[in-house]
């Protein structure tokens, strides 16, 4: 079984980058017992559809722009997003939903699960995440590790780098 974890979002708009930051954090701090790819999907949107063709299990890490308390976590099967593209708040959310809907139309084989977190701030132009998401980061990480484990893949922590270290590694020292 081929598995991939894709972090999506725009790292220039604070909490919108949480999926990308989480993917970078996983790559920096963990190894995995079997073949699983961790990908920075950024704002690739529809271009991610190739992963629905190539993998059996796809885990997407992203924000969920819904009217809930910032930091609230969700595990949602992709099918629940079909038809909701017009209700999203960011361009990449619309593209991710369109990609999922296109994948369904073509009967692509991947089973897709969204692990999302409600953002506090996706409009400020800033690197890093809000205090609400910093507070929830450990719980979000555990949700992601539990989902990976449910696929039969064991995650082994190899380093204890901070989230800020992962962000600095991703963005460089110039932010």
Q: Please report, in tens digits, the pLDDT of each residue of the chain (175 residues total).
A: 899 999 999 999 999 999 999 999 999 999 998 889 999 998 887 788 889 889 999 999 999 888 899 999 999 998 787 665 555 566 566 677 777 877 777 777 789 999 999 999 999 999 999 999 999 999 999 999 999 999 999 999 999 988 888 888 888 755 5
User: Is the pTM above the cut of 0.85?
Assistant: yes
Give the pair of three-digit tokens for residue 138: 């450990």
Residues 6+ apart with CB under 8 A from 47: none
Question: Minimal CA–CA distance to 103: which of 15, 17, 21, 6?
Answer: 6
Distance between CA atoms of residues 101 and 32, nearest Å: 30
Question: Minimal CA–CA distance to 99: which of 58, 65, 40?
Answer: 58
Whole-Å CA distances, 79 to 20, 130, 146, 151: 22, 29, 21, 19
Q: What pLDDT, on the 0 to 100 scale, is given for residue 35?
A: 83
Q: What pLDDT, on the 0 to 100 scale, is given for residue 128?
A: 92
Give strand pairing partners of 138. none
Q: What pLDDT, on the 0 to 100 scale, is given for residue 169?
A: 84
Residue 24 · residue 40 · CB < 8 Å:
yes
Distance between CA atoms of residues 10 and 174, nearest Å: 17
Q: What pLDDT, on the 0 to 100 scale, is given for residue 37?
A: 95
Whole-Å CA distances, 86 to 9, 93, 94: 17, 10, 7
Q: What pLDDT, on the 0 to 100 scale, is given for residue 45?
A: 79
Q: What pLDDT, on the 0 to 100 scale, is given for residue 40?
A: 93
Distance between CA atoms of residues 131 and 54, nearest Å: 36
């Amino acid at each position: 079984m081929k598995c991939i974890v894709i972090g999506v979002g725009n790292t220039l708009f604070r909490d919108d980058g949480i999926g990308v930051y989480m993917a970078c954090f996983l790559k920096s701090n963990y190894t995995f017992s079997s073949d699983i790819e961790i990908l920075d999907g950024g704002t690739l949107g529809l271009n991610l559809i190739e992963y629905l063709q190539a993998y059996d299990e796809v885990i997407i890490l992203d924000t969920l722009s819904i009217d809930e308390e910032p930091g609230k976590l969700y595990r949602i099967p992709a099918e629940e997003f079909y038809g909701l593209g017009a209700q999203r708040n960011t361009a990449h959310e619309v593209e991710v939903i369109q990609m999922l809907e296109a994948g369904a139309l073509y009967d692509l084989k991947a089973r897709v699960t969204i692990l999302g977190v409600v953002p506090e701030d996706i409009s400020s132009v800033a690197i890093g995440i809000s205090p609400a998401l910093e507070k929830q980061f450990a719980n979000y990480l555990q949700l992601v590790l539990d989902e990976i484990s449910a696929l039969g893949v064991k995650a082994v922590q190899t380093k204890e780098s901070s989230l800020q270290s992962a962000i600095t590694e991703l963005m460089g020292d110039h932010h």
